[in-house]
Amino acid sequence: MARQTEFIQLSTAEQSSLKTFFRSGNSSNRQQTRARILDLLAKQTTPLEIARLLGCTVTTVYNVKRRFLAEGLDAALSERSRSGKPPTISGEARARITALACSAAPEGHARWTLRLLADKAVEQGFVETVSHQKVKQILKKTL
């Protein structure tokens, strides 16, 4: 037998907050989709129908609903911060590596290579260790 869908109840303040949210237009598409999911759940539309209407998955509908019930309206609409890996090379070291790449090549070389830049950055103490691939990423983002 199919599971019965439990709909949500929005308070008057939450309903007015959603209406304001829709009118403002200063939010991302993902936030707008989450708000529409909550609005349709409050209007007792089934998750399958909501997914079809909004072009998202049923899992997304259930996740937004679960988050709303557990943490409230603001948490359901906003993104959680993602941990990610913290940067291993500081902005100052990145700037110094970029400046080094823009300087004249060392004697005996026509131009800087990635390996030469990595070795020189370690030699001059910009960083403790750096690979030539990391130097490539730094230069790709800045040059």
For the chain, the domains span: 12-77, 91-142
Express each pLDDT in 56-79 by its tens digit.
Answer: 999 999 999 999 999 999 999 988
pTM of the complete model: 0.59
User: What is the average pLDDT across 71-96?
Assistant: 88
Average pLDDT, the chain: 90
What is the band of 116 on the pLDDT scale with cuts at 50, 70, 90? very high
Quickly tell me which residue has 């370690």 as its tokens. 122
> Residue 81 has which token pair?
């911060």
**What CATH class is the domain 12-77?**
mainly alpha
Report how far residue 84's alpha carbon sits from residue 73's, in angstroms, rounded to the nearest whole number. Answer: 25
